[in-house]
Amino acid sequence: MLEIKGLEVKLQEEDKQILKGVNLSIGAGEVHAIMGPNGSGKSTTSYVLSGKDGYEVTGGSVTLDGVDVLEMEPEERAAAGLFLAFQYPVEIPGVGNMTFLRTAVNAQRKARGEDEMSAGEFLKVVREKAKALKIDADMLKRPVNVGFSGGEKKRNEILQMAMLEPKMCILDETDSGLDVDAMKLVAEGVNALRSEGRSFLVITHYQRLLDHIKPDVVHIMANGRIVKSGGPELALEVENNGYADILAEVA
Amino acid sequence: MALAKLKSDATQARLARLTMPDGLTAARKDALGRVAAMGLSHKRDEYWKYTDPMSLTQADPVPAAVFESDESPLFAGVDSVKIVFVDGVYDADASDDLSCAGVEIDRLVDVAGKDIHWATELYGTLETRGQVPVARPLAALNTAFATDGVVIRATGKAAKPISLVYLHGDDTSDVMLHCVVRVDAGADITLLETGPAAARFNSVLEVDVAEGGAFHHVRTQGRDHERRAVTHCFARIASEGRFKSFTLTANGTMTRNECIIEILGDDVVAHVAGACVGDGDDFHHDDTIFITHDGLRGESRQVFKKVLRNGAVGVFQGKILVKAGAQKTDGYQISQSLLLDDDSQFLAKPELEIYADDVICSHGSTTGAIDEDALFYMQSRGVPRKAATDLLTLAFLAEALEEIDNPALADDLYDRLDSWLARRS
Ligand SMILES: Nc1ncnc2c1ncn2[C@@H]1O[C@H](COP(=O)(O)OP(=O)(O)O)[C@@H](O)[C@H]1O
Ligand SMILES: [Mg+2]
């Protein structure tokens, strides 16, 4: 599904290398987790995958189902099935949450040559999915993420993901700032989307999210590289011993 | 050359082209006296620093090509009393019967013949009051030479909005219209104005709102790219009166919209708002507002939003004057521009002058570009960059449109703005 080979990235404005050769291969239907200390390049990886400005790819490649995504505009990547649940979802004053969702769903459909979703159908689907995430009608009406609590923002990200039905979902610290109940809701939302054709890359600091979303592979990222990969037990090791041992071992 | 001499030469040149119409003679002669004393506006005048008035004051208008719009007329779905002027000339065939429950409507040219007292008294009165402390010679020029217009007296709740439609059919038309509105105690009326009116348009609207009266005003100025306009709205509001005015400007080479509001009674609400969208370095738009609080607990709002691209220039000059004794005044002013590129420019001059001690007044002015984070967020959800930019632009303008009480009118304008953006790549 997603193939990242030797990805090297520097900041556009500064001479600062952030990713120093990231390799990652995620098969269809798999769930991979990336853990790692703050500043190791996890968010940067997710931004570069989704096409954010300000980064310069100096080496390597990224393909989604064999197609080079680095050449695509962010909206083209989205239409191709890539989705990023932001670590810090953006507030958009003046644009209603529902309007935004519908615009996004239909823009993707249009880009793929599919029919737009009718207003009635859209409303039905969105209500159903919002209910499962305990997102009420008021939150749907309000401007995107404006005045939302941290937990509400993260649930809203999952709602967008559920509506857009991407095939490659990247979740950047979706668990941070969530209490146990909110995390369960989010995990349930993610698990409901798990299927053979859909893959996940879950970026997290904590093992606890991985109790709910069971990964197939766990990667440790440090200083712009994936330094170790393993099974779910690797996450437990981090939980118990921190990163120090692992980093010392690979140094 | 000395400014006084420059002004008097320009004024003489302009006056030489004009003939004073019959009727309302006393008011017109008075106004002519004011014009001669003040001289026409000049870019060295304090309130014309950001906008060169030359094309508005010069003897002959700059020709403006007539714009053939493919859009249906605005507010077509609103049941109104339609009054049509083509290049300033009343079009009886295209206009509705001038009758409507709760309102008396007449043409300005009939005021003298029909001896309409209230209109004769009001004509030029609010304009005169509005000349202090800032001179507005183009308004006085209008009072002296306006060829037509309408006088409207709301005696109760008007059954329908009055809709003034200003068509433009002649490249060189140079038009002055003057409207006078009297809202009786407790009466309620909506006035709509649409269209470019002329190659060069000078319009004055005087609105006198009596106790508990309500005046709603929604205006658009036409998509003609080359048209020029200077408009003045003078309002005087008595206790518990409500005044709301909104203007949408899309295109036009030169637009100067002045609104001068005097809050004389207590518990008055006065809101004036505008949205403008301009594209190209021949777009210049200026909103100049002066609100005087001279009553208790008055609430005033100024909300102005401008979207500018490809070298367009926007100007906002807004003043709140709170007189001694106008306690508990709540004055708010915001002017914001969204610059869609580095070539465009927004100039703002907010002013507060307060002589009462128990008031809340705030003003703010911002200039910004599209929020790149929001743009990326929307793109990452599949919304193409252009569509995302348009959505963010409309969201920016929406705060001004929210000042319109009637949602159907606001929706119409929103659609126009949406189309305006959609036509641009
Ligand atoms: N736009 C940016 N400007 C400056 N520094 C940046 C920028 N983006 C990332 N960085 C730097 O790159 C490194 C990796 O950041 P990030 O990818 O956010 O790490 P993580 O998500 O693993 O905590 C950090 O040192 C961070 O400060
Ligand atoms: Mg991060």
Band of pLDDT at residue A250, cut at 50, 70 and 90: confident
Whether B387 and A86 lie within 8 Å, measured CB to CB: no
> Exposure of B357 by Cβ count < 10 A (0-12 exposed, 13-18 middle, 19+ buried)?
exposed
Calculate the average pLDDT of chain B.
97
Residue B36 resides in a domain: yes
Ligand 1 mean position, distance from CA B392 (Å): 27
Residue found under tokens 């007539």: B66
Distance between Cα A230 and ligand 2 center (Å): 21
Q: Which residue of A has its CA nearest to B392?
A: A95
Per-residue pLDDT of chain B (425 residues; tens, 9 = 90+): 788 998 999 999 999 999 999 999 999 999 999 999 999 999 999 999 999 999 999 999 999 999 988 888 899 889 999 999 999 999 999 999 999 999 999 999 999 999 999 999 999 999 999 999 999 999 999 999 999 999 999 999 999 999 999 999 999 999 999 999 999 999 999 999 999 999 999 999 999 999 999 999 999 998 999 999 999 999 999 999 999 999 999 999 999 999 999 999 999 999 999 999 999 999 999 999 999 999 999 999 999 999 999 999 999 999 999 999 999 999 999 999 999 999 999 999 999 999 999 999 999 999 999 999 999 999 999 999 999 999 999 999 999 999 999 999 999 999 999 999 999 98
Q: Does A245 touch chain B (CB under 8 A)?
A: no
Work out the widest C-alpha separation in chain A, in whole angstroms: 57
Q: Whose CA is nearest to atom 6 of ligand 1?
A: A11
Across A75-83, average pLDDT: 97
CA-angle at B183, arms to B180 and B189, nearest 5°: 95
**Residue at B51 is within a domain:** yes
B227 falls within a domain: yes
Which residue of A lies nearest to B390 if distances are taken between CA atoms?
A95
CATH T-level fold of A2-250: Rossmann fold (3.40.50)
Residue A37 reports pLDDT greater than 80: yes
What is the DSSP code string of B266-334?
SS-EEEEEEEEEEESTT-EEEEEEEEEE-STT-EEEEEEEEEEETT-EEEEEEEEEE-TT-TT-EEEEE
Cross-chain residue pair B387–A78, CB shorter than 8 Å: no
* pLDDT reading at A175 higher than 90: no
Q: Which residues pair with B316 in a beta bridge?
A: B287, B348
Q: Is A11 touching B (CB cutoff 8 A)?
A: no
Give residue B299's region: left, alpha or beta (phi > 0; psi -120 to 50). beta
Both tokens of residue A213? 């979303």
Q: Check residue A239 and give its pLDDT.
A: 85
Cβ A105 vs Cβ A164: under 8 Å:
yes
CB B151 within 8 A of CB B111: yes
Measure CB to CB from residue B379 to each of A73, A86, A92 and give the nearest one: A73
Check CB contact under 8 Å for A74 and B380.
yes
The whole-chain average pLDDT of chain A stands at 93
Q: Kindly tell me if the per-residue pLDDT of A251 is higher than 80.
A: no
Instruction: Check residue A73 and give its pLDDT.
Output: 97
Q: What is the pLDDT of residue B420?
A: 95
Q: What is residue B34's three-state secondary structure?
A: helix
- Domain with B94 in it: 3-370
ipTM of the complex: 0.96
- Pocket probe for ligand 1: among A19, A43, A203, the residue whose CB has the most ligand atoms within 8 Å is A43
- What's the pTM value of the predicted model, to 2 decimals? 0.93
Q: How far is B360 from chain A (nearest CA, A)?
A: 25
Which of 140-199 (A) contact B at CB < 8 A?
A: 143, 160, 164
Distance of CA B148 to the CA centre of its chain: 18
Answer yes or no: is B395 within a domain: no
CA of A229 to the centre of ligand 1 (A): 22
Is residue B276 situated within a structural domain?
yes
Annotated domain spans of chain A:
2-250
Judging contacts by C-beta atoms under 8 Å, the chain B residues touching residue A111 are: 382, 384
Minimum-distance ligand 1 atom for the alpha carbon of A46:
17
pLDDT tens digits along A185-209: 889 889 999 999 999 999 998 888 8
Looking at the domain assignment, is residue B87 inside a domain?
yes
- Which ligand lies nearest the alpha carbon of A42? 1
Alpha-carbon gap: A250 to the closest alpha carbon of chain B (Å): 35
For residue B348, the cross-strand partners are B316
Enumerate the residues of chain B whose CB falls inside 8 A of the CB of residue A93: 395
**For residues A210-233, average pLDDT:** 94
* Closest C-alpha residue for ligand 1 atom 7: A11
